[in-house]
């Protein structure tokens, strides 16, 4: 296959994934902007996750205007995969319980930041008063009691699970997840590719010593993967959030409207795939 033929195929794929992401962003725009003003920890969590990933998806869409941005876009997509895996882990392990734990951990997170500042002798007196620090300390203590975490235990995660552990937990309960193992494995493989962009990887760096025509194909490939991941993650998080809202209130207007738009996008993409 000639280089021109390779470029033609990947350009067509780029356009298809760009359209998928663009249509999905339009479908969830209203839901991402909607604020529920509730104390329901699960609703707050999914609202925040959807909104953050909506904006990340918008960033990837903007970056897609130039294939040179492919590595940066794939790095952002990696972040989206982490969010999706965290959400799916919570869902298969009772999101109502896990979201409350996550909410408590906010206080511990703040205390961790304060400790990090102290470790490097960073003066925060211009940003935090003694009362602010006392409040952070007290909230950290209260959260640790609620989560049964020892006062001297160094914790960076609310669930003591790293990314790979959460993935294995999800796979063990895949019947509760919204995707097949094959689909999940594809997403996880792209997560690994995104990791290369996020670190000084010899494997990643040496690819830039290829002939320019091959580097261009690589950059386009990165962008193609980023667009696909953004579409897949946004669809997954949005559908989770919509389902949760409709379980609470079947007449939830913005959730109903978003569901209808997402299903329309899905049907249109399915028709296009059948035509190709």
pLDDT, one tens digit per residue, over 33-81 is 998 878 899 999 999 999 999 999 999 999 999 999 999 999 999 999 9
Banded pLDDT at 275 (limits 50, 70, 90): low
Percent of the chain with pLDDT over 90: 63
0.95 exceeded by the pTM? Answer: no
pLDDT, one tens digit per residue, over 200-250 is 888 888 888 999 999 999 999 999 999 999 999 999 999 999 999 999 999
Q: What is the pLDDT of residue 191?
A: 87
Q: Name the token pair of 221.
A: 């490939």
Q: Mean pLDDT throughout 154-182? A: 87
More confidently predicted of 193 and 29: 29
**Contact 55/33 with Cβ under 8 angstroms?**
no
139 burial via Cβ count (<10 Å: 0-12, 13-18, 19+): middle
Q: What is the largest CA-CA distance in the chain?
A: 68
Q: What DSSP line would sit under 113-125, residue for residue?
A: HHHHHHHTT---T
Q: What is the pLDDT of residue 176?
A: 82
DSSP state of 66: S
What are the extents of the domains in the chain? 3-93+173-275, 98-160
Banded pLDDT at 127 (limits 50, 70, 90): confident
């Amino acid at each position: 296959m000639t280089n021109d033929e390779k470029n033609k195929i990947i350009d067509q794929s780029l356009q298809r994934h760009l359209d998928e992401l663009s249509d999905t962003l339009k479908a969830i725009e209203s839901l991402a902007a909607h604020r529920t003003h509730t104390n329901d920890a699960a609703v707050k969590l999914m609202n925040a996750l959807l909104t953050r990933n909506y904006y990340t998806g918008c960033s990837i869409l903007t970056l897609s205007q130039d294939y040179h941005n492919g590595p940066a876009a794939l790095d952002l997509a990696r972040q989206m995969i982490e969010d999706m895996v965290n959400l799916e882990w919570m869902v298969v392990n009772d999101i109502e319980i896990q979201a409350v734990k996550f909410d408590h951990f906010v206080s511990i997170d703040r205390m961790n930041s304060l400790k990090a500042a102290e470790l490097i002798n960073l003066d925060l007196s211009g940003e935090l008063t003694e009362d602010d620090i006392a409040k952070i300390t007290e909230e950290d203590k209260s959260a640790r009691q609620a989560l049964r975490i020892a006062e001297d235990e160094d914790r960076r995660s609310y669930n003591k699970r790293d990314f790979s552990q959460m993935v294995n937990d999800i796979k063990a309960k895949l019947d509760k997840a919204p995707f097949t193992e094959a689909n999940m494995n594809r997403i996880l493989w792209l997560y690994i590719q995104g990791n290369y962009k996020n670190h000084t990887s010899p494997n990643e760096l040496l690819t830039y010593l290829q002939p320019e025509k091959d580097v261009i194909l690589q950059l386009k490939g990165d962008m193609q993967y980023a667009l696909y991941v953004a579409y897949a993650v946004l669809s997954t998080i949005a559908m989770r959030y919509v389902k949760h809202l409709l379980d609470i209130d079947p007449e939830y207007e913005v959730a109903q409207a978003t569901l209808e738009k997402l299903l329309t996008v899905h049907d249109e993409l399915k028709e296009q795939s059948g035509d190709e």
